[in-house]
């Protein structure tokens, strides 16, 4: 599940180091090409909303059969795009169909015992995060040498053996929910209204991911303008974030033993510090590297603790509460992509850094105000 989560979620992030190349191909502005990343994340959020709840109603393997056909078709469509509009539409469906890794996270929580739930979540999240970070490295290298279209063709080919492997190796789970699909979706609203811990977790996660998305969307422009580097160097920054991904399993184990409130405070502090480092590193590669490590560590600590909280309180509806949480998470990512592009256009790297600091401070504020009712 960890490896599969990484390979599938990578589809969402191949585009980020390639945005400059895409803007050159279609002769559009950097702000316009950021819609490719934006619509990928919006598609992912809607995939979470309409696909992931099915994990509480339909066999996971049946969901995969339909979903992988859409993944492969949309990747091929993106690779063969002849206009930015077609690429943007294809990217939306890439995001929509690549929500499947979020079935694996509650599945890991279900298969693990209570004492090791956080650790199990952390292991799956490690794979997912390495996929996110590694995708940028691979994409940058492939794009620089073979063009951005080749990356999408490679991604489509990778999905075929992965689907076959999952059909044979993934544990089959038969959910207990017997109601209709409409009833299933309506019950999401019930959990949203009645579970303040889920709402607050979604807000914290969304704000943190908004900052990270703003960083990755604009890093490629900073590399081009301030350092003269291409997509390969931009993508290589993902390697430094792997430190945060590898720490996910440890953070998950820690969340089984340590007070969640403390972990959230430490995570918020790490995020604030990372963005302050970014603020003073517009012309420093070393400073950017330090910032990447810190921001990924902070996001991971916050993300895994959020999920451990919501899964422990709602065992009968883990896919649905994960839907609420991850929709908020990726709506935040989409918002961060849009705000990051605007901040870059208006104020360049200083604007992006101030945006990241502001989002991180808001995390600390909302947690301070509401934590007593939700931890």
The CA-atom distances, in angstroms, between 204 and each of 96, 185, 265 are: 23, 23, 11
> Angle 289-144-342 (CA atoms, 0-180°, nearest 5)?
60
pLDDT for residue 375 is more than 60: no
Round to whole Å and give the CA distance between 242 and 246. Answer: 6
Residue 164: alpha-carbon gap to chain centroid: 24
Q: Please report whether residue 183 resides in a domain.
A: no
Tell whether 179 is covered by a domain: no
How many Cα neighbours within 13 Å face the side chain of 373? 9
Q: Does residue 209 lie within any of the structural domains?
A: yes
CB contact at 8 A, 72 and 156: yes
Q: Say if residues 105 and 125 touch (Cβ distance below 8 Å).
A: yes
Residue 262 CA to residue 273 CA, distance in Å, equals 17
Mean predicted confidence (pLDDT) in 111-117:
76
Contacts of range 367-372, beta carbons closer than 8 Å, 24 or more positions apart: 367/200, 367/204, 367/264, 367/265, 367/268, 370/196, 370/200, 371/200, 371/261, 371/264
> Does 178 reside within a domain?
no
Task: Assess if residue 175 is contained within a domain.
Answer: no
Chain segment 18-58, per-residue pLDDT in tens:
888 899 899 888 778 888 988 998 898 889 889 888 888 88
Question: What is the reported pLDDT for 150?
Answer: 95
Output the pLDDT for position 174: 74
Contact 118, 252 (CB under 8 A): yes
Write down the pLDDT at residue 245: 65
Q: Kindly give, in sequence order, each residue whose CB lies less than 8 Å from that of residue 185, ignoring residues fewer than 6 positions away.
A: 50, 53
Q: What does each C-alpha distance from 225 to 20, 221, 222, 242, 343 come to in angstroms? A: 11, 6, 5, 25, 15
- Which range, 17-21, 145-149, 361-365, is most confident? 361-365
How many CB atoms within 10 Å of residue 346?
8
At 8 the pLDDT is 95
Residue 223 DSSP symbol:
I
Q: How many structural domains are present in the chain?
A: 1
What digits encode the pLDDT tens for the residues 198-251? 999 999 999 999 999 999 889 988 988 888 887 677 767 767 767 666 766 676
- What is the predicted pLDDT for the residue at 158? 95
Residue 249, pLDDT score: 63
Query: What's the domain range around 12?
Result: 2-167+188-373
Q: Highest mean pLDDT: which of 12-16, 26-30, 75-79, 325-329?
A: 75-79
Q: Rounded CA gap, 151 and 11, in Å? A: 10
Q: Could you tell me the pLDDT band of residue 136, with boundaries at 50, 70 and 90?
A: confident
Q: Determine the length of the chain.
A: 375
> Looking at the domain assignment, is residue 103 inside a domain?
yes
What value does the mean pLDDT take over residues 360-366? 95
pLDDT average, residue stretch 244-262: 71
Q: How many CB atoms lie within 10 A of CB 173?
A: 15
Instruction: Tell me the C-alpha to C-alpha distance, in Å, between residue 32 and each of 57, 91, 120, 338.
Output: 39, 14, 40, 10
pLDDT at residue 169, as a whole number: 86
**Where residue 85 sits, what CATH number does that domain have?**
1.20.1250.20
Question: For 170-195, where are the alpha helices, taking DSSP H only?
Answer: 181-194
> What's the CA gap between 338 and 38, in Å, rounded?
7
* Between 28 and 10, the higher pLDDT residue: 10
6 in Cβ contact with 134 (< 8 Å): yes
Mean pLDDT over all residues of the chain? 87
Token pair in block for residue 290:
């330090």
Give the pLDDT of residue 305: 87
Residue 81 clears pLDDT 80, i.e. is over it: yes
pLDDT, tens digit, for every residue of 309-344?
Answer: 888 777 778 888 888 998 888 789 889 988 998 999
CA 212 to chain centre: 9
């Amino acid at each position: 599940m960890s490896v599969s989560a990484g390979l599938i979620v990578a589809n969402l992030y191949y585009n980020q180091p390639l945005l400059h190349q895409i803007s050159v191909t279609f002769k559009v502005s950097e702000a316009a090409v950021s819609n490719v990343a934006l619509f990928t994340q919006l598609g992912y959020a809607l995939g979470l909303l309409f696909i992931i709840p099915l994990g509480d109603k339909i066999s996971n393997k049946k969901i995969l059969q339909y979903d992988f056909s859409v993944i492969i078709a949309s990747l091929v469509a993106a690779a063969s795009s002849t206009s930015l509009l077609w690429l943007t539409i294809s990217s939306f469906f890439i995001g929509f169909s690549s929500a499947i890794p979020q079935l694996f996270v509650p599945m890991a929580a279900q298969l693990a015992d209570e004492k090791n739930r956080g650790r199990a979540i952390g292991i799956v999240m490690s794979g997912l995060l390495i996929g996110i970070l590694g995708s940028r490295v691979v994409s940058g290298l492939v794009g620089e040498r073979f063009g951005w279209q080749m990356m999408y063709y490679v991604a489509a080919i990778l999905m075929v053996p992965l689907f076959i492997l999952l059909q044979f190796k993934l544990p089959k789970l038969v959910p207990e929910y017997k109601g209709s699909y409409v009833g299933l979706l309506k019950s999401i609203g019930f959990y949203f209204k009645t579970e303040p811990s889920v709402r607050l977790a979604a807000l914290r996660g969304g704000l943190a991911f908004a900052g990270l998305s703003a960083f990755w969307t604009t890093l490629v422009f900073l590399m081009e303008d301030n350092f003269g580097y291409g997509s390969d160097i931009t993508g290589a920054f993902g390697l430094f974030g792997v430190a945060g991904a590898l720490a996910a399993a440890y953070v998950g184990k820690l969340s089984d033993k340590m007070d969640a409130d403390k972990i959230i405070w430490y995570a918020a502090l790490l995020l604030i510090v990372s963005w302050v480092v970014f603020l003073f590193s517009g012309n420093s590669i070393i400073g950017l590297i330090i910032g990447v490590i810190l921001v990924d560590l902070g996001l991971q600590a916050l993300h895994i603790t959020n999920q451990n909280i919501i899964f422990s309180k709602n065992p009968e509806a883990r896919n649905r509460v994960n839907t609420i949480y991850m929709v908020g998470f990726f709506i935040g990512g989409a918002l961060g992509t849009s705000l990051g592009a605007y901040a870059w256009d208006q104020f360049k790297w200083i604007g992006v850094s101030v945006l990241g600091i502001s989002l991180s401070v808001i995390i600390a504020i909302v947690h301070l105000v509401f934590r007593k009712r939700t931890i």
